Amino acid sequence: MKLLAGCPNCGRTLHLSLSAADRRLACPACGRMFKVPNLEDLQKALSVADAAKGEIYVDENGNVYG
Ligand SMILES: [Zn+2]
């Protein structure tokens, strides 16, 4: 499963592995640090992920989209 996270500063979509969850990352495009939601939050989205063919999209507030 891939994890897609949107940079809150520049909007770039970052392709991450699940190991990036619950960590702070620097956006490669603009350098801003942002928080990737933790797996507990992400587990709420597993049914969404099923519908999304193995990719889920999260924002820094823990909102999840398929
Ligand atoms: Zn950025």
18-63 confidence digits (pLDDT tens): 888 889 999 999 999 988 888 777 666 665 556 656 777 888 877 8
Structural domain count, the chain: 1
| Residue range of the domain that includes 28 | 2-65
Q: Output the pTM of the full model.
A: 0.61
34/50 Cα distance (integer angstroms): 26
Per-residue pLDDT at 60: 80
Q: For residue 28, report the distance from its CA to the centre of ligand 1, in Å.
A: 7
Tell me the CA–centroid distance for residue 1 and ligand 1, in Å. 22
Mean pLDDT of 2-19: 89
pLDDT band (50, 70, 90) for residue 13: very high
Bigger pLDDT: 23 vs 65? 23
Q: Which H or E run contains 4?
A: strand 2-6
Give dist(CA 36, CA 18) in Å, integer: 10
Q: Residue 18 has what DSSP assignment?
A: G
Distance 45 CA to ligand 1 centre (A): 24
